[in-house]
Amino acid sequence: MKLLRLQGFPILQQLYLEERLLRATTHNWCLINQGTNPPAIIVGISGKPEKLLDVKAVLQDNIPVIRRFSGGGTVIVDTDTVFVTLICRRDAVTLPDLYPRPIMEWTEHLYLPAFQTVPSFHLLEHDYVLGDRKFGGNAQSIIKDRFLHHTSFLWDYQDFRMAYLKLPQRTPTYRLARSHSDFICRLKDYMPSREAFTDYIVKAFEQQFRLQEISLDEVEKTQPSSVPHITSTQVFTTADLQQSIMPLIVKG
């Protein structure tokens, strides 16, 4: 598995890269990106901004909204987020079928050694939690004989940024109508440093894969972006966002 470590890489570029590595290459990949700039809101492939976000506030504060190519929910990411992505061939896992739930459970198994020092890490419904507090969501994209699983871990977060996200219509049962701040937690309260965290992750992955570190330049050279493939990642323009809330305004 090729390991690509990034720092502060813009999330839009990261999503474009991930989609390319998933659809247009045949290797197994692991991407770890420590933080992103500028802050952005990422919705899932079927996400509708008007349902998930306080669009007016988002427009006012000029926060980019990106639709990613994988399923799942909405996140707001910034320099305090740690992204970990796995892109695998079917033969990299011993699962009979590439279905979302077994893949998620496989990742729990994979991540477990990384969280040995932290109490109560586990997968609860669709989220990674410590006890009953979420610190990482995850999403997947499954294509023929390959899949991608990516997570944004909350190393830290700013409360005011969470305010852009509405309470989603579908919430996990274990959330129990808690507010954002009672529902999530910061990984920095449990780990010595971000670098230590990413080291733990790499060590955990090394238990199942032989990791070969690669630089971004090498990736660009060996996996050129000229290979055509489906791109589902897109940025919502200001016009898109304004349009999305138009009917709501008209209805008053």
Partner 1 sequence: MYVGMRTTSRGMRSVIHELSIGLKRLTSLRPAFGDGFVHISGSYGGGGAVGGLLQSELLTTNSGGDRIISVSRFHAVASMPTTTTTTIIGAESRSSSLLLPAMAIPLADPSRLVQARFNSSSNEVLTADLGSRGGIVEIELAQTGEGIADCELIRWFVKEGDMVEEFDPVCEVQSDKASVSITSRYKGKVSNICFMPGDVVKVGETLLELIVNGSSNEQTPVPAAQQEEQWQEEASTLRRGVDPENASEEGVKKEILATPAVRHMAKNYGISLVDVVGTGKDGRIMKEDFMKHVAAKEAVREDLEPEGHIEELSTSVDGDEYSPIPPATDSGYFSGEDTIIPIRGFRRAMANAMTAAVKVPHFHYMEEMDVDALVELKNTLSTSIPLPPGVKLTYLPFLIKSLSAALLKHPIMNSTVNEDVTEIRVKASHNIGVAMATSFGLVVPNVKNVQRMSVLEIATELSRLIQLAGKNMLATEDISGGTITVSNFGAIGGKFGSPIINVPEVAIVAIGRMQQVPRLQGDGSFVNSSVMTVTWGADHRVIDGATVAHFCNEWKLLIEQPERLFLHLR
Q: Which of 120, 212, 222, 231 binds partner 1 (CB under 8 A)?
A: 120
- Is 100 a residue that touches partner 1 (CB under 8 A)? yes
Chain centroid offset of residue 187 CA: 15
- Is 243 a residue that touches partner 1 (CB under 8 A)? no
CA angle 12, 113, 108 (to 5 degrees): 60
Looking at residue 23, the DSSP 8-state letter turns out to be: H
How far is residue 21's CA from residue 15's CA, in Å, rounded to a whole number?
A: 10
User: Which candidate, 230, 241, 240, 233, places its Cα nearest to that of 70?
Assistant: 233
Please list the alpha-helical segments (H only) found in 27-79: 49-52, 55-60
Q: What is the dihedral of CA 107, 108, 113, 115, to 10 degrees?
A: 120
- Is 235 a residue that touches partner 1 (CB under 8 A)? no
CA angle 38, 88, 92 (to 5 degrees): 150
Length of the chain as a residue count? 252
Give the x/- contact pattern for partner 1 in 192-231, rule: CB under 8 A: --------------------------------------x-
CB 69 within 8 A of CB 233: yes
We find the least distance from the C-beta atom of residue 64 to partner 1, in angstroms, to be 20
Give the number of other Cβ atoms within 10 Å of residue 46's Cβ.
8
We find the least distance from the C-beta atom of residue 165 to partner 1, in angstroms, to be 17
Q: Name the phi and psi angles at 163, rounded to 5.
A: -65, -20
We find the least distance from the C-beta atom of residue 189 to partner 1, in angstroms, to be 17
Closest to partner 1 by CB, 23 or 194 = 23
The window from 3-11, 31-39, 63-71, 210-218 that contacts partner 1 (CB under 8 A) reads 63-71
Give the interface size with partner 1 as a residue count (CB under 8 A): 33
- Is 248 a residue that touches partner 1 (CB under 8 A)? no
Footprint (CB under 8 A) of partner 1, residues 128-167: 131, 138-144, 147
- Is 62 a residue that touches partner 1 (CB under 8 A)? no
We find the least distance from the C-beta atom of residue 174 to partner 1, in angstroms, to be 12
Footprint (CB under 8 A) of partner 1, residues 70-99: 70-73, 94, 96, 99
Q: Name the phi and psi angles at 67, rounded to 5.
A: -100, 120
We find the least distance from the C-beta atom of residue 187 to partner 1, in angstroms, to be 16
Return residues touching partner 1 (CB under 8 A). Answer: 44-46, 69-73, 94, 96, 99-105, 119-122, 126, 131, 138-144, 147, 230, 232
